[in-house]
Amino acid sequence: MNTESNAVPESFDSQPIAPAAISPTQPFYWSVRRELWENRSIYIAPLAVAAVFLFSFLISAIHLPSKMRAALALDPMQQQELIGKPYNFVALSIMATAIIVGVFYSLDALHGERRDRTILFWKSLPVSDFTTVLSKASIPIVILPLLAFAITVATQCIMLLVSTAVLLASGQSVTTVWTHLPLFQMSLMLFCHLLGVHGLWYAPFYGWLLLVSGWARRAAFLWAALPLLAIGVVEKIVFNTSHFGALLTSRLTGGSEGAALTGSASMHPMTYLALGRFLSSSGLWIGLAVAAAFLAAAVRLRRYQGPI
């Protein structure tokens, strides 16, 4: 008797199934999306500032024809300054908003999940502490500057279209506006400034805020500010110097390395050389090394810290 014909075939359910391969970048990608889902102020705050400014610009556009007639009597440099003033102002407003959002986000990024005890749920997922902290650090260092850039450029393009429509409706030429408003060059300069200064140059501050967020049990803002203030006071009393305060001020203002990427509206050829000097400067890489040390400490803290 043929025993092979009587053999019961193995059930498909009992056969081993190989787990689907997961890309190394997929947990990081979904962690970043999680931060955007849970912290809508990351994009709502800059959008709100842009909407308020656009509404104000639409109202003020009534007086645009008379302003353009007055601008024709000025020299080219003054014309460019007058025409570009509202465009620079909206860029500064959105950049300031992005910095404020980045500071408060960083202070609450690790502290918030410990406070509401959701850290227990997130630690149960197959996402490492390194990936989690890195995704949180990418928000103020990369995501917010890119969002600020996109929102600013979109707002400026809408302003330019509104100005063009108003001038054409009033029978005036739009040549002066389009000639004295180098929007493409301004966008390139803005992109370099946001990613270079607001992202990479400010990375040590965001790393420090994330470290404090993972350590402090309450009043994270005070724990972030008081040690820096105490170091400056002790240095002044003991050594009668202000090197630490000058270092913080230089880091906040962009320093000499980022000076060429700050406050310029045009992307002239020398700016490319300044960008190269900025990317190769020791101050930038020392700051990134300090930021990496802060983030490494934050990863270790999250590994052993529990809910508050």
Q: Using the predicted structure, report yes or no on whether residue 265 has a pLDDT greater than 70.
A: no
Band the pLDDT of 260: cuts 50, 70, 90. low
At residue 273, the pLDDT reads: 66
Q: What is the dihedral of CA 137, 141, 144, 150, to 10 degrees?
A: -140
80: Cβ contacts below 8 Å, ≥ 6 apart: 180, 181, 265
Share of the chain above pLDDT 90, in %: 32
- Contact, 64 vs 163, CB < 8 A? yes
305: Cβ contacts below 8 Å, ≥ 6 apart: 114, 119, 214, 215
Element (H, E) at 87: helix 76-115
At residue 22, the pLDDT reads: 61
Query: pLDDT tens digits, residue range 6-52?
Result: 544 555 455 555 455 566 678 888 888 889 998 999 999 999 999 99
At residue 157, the pLDDT reads: 92
Q: What is the phi/psi pair of residue 256, to 5°?
A: -70, -25
Residue carrying structure tokens 């040690």: 227
**pTM listed for this prediction:** 0.83
At residue 45, the pLDDT reads: 94
Question: Average pLDDT of 112-123?
Answer: 81
Average model confidence (pLDDT) across the chain: 82
Question: Average pLDDT of 190-207?
Answer: 91
At residue 99, the pLDDT reads: 94
More confident residue, 177 or 274: 177
- Contact, 61 vs 162, CB < 8 A? yes
Domain ranges of the chain: 25-304
- Contact, 54 vs 158, CB < 8 A? yes
More confident residue, 127 or 145: 145
* Greatest Cα pair distance in the chain: 110
At residue 136, the pLDDT reads: 94
Q: Closest Cα partner for 307 from 122, 138, 134?
A: 122
Q: Kindly report which listed range (84-88, 170-174, 264-268, 294-298) carries the lowest average pLDDT score.
A: 264-268
At residue 85, the pLDDT reads: 85
At residue 185, the pLDDT reads: 82
Q: Using the predicted structure, report yes or no on whether residue 105 has a pLDDT greater than 90.
A: yes
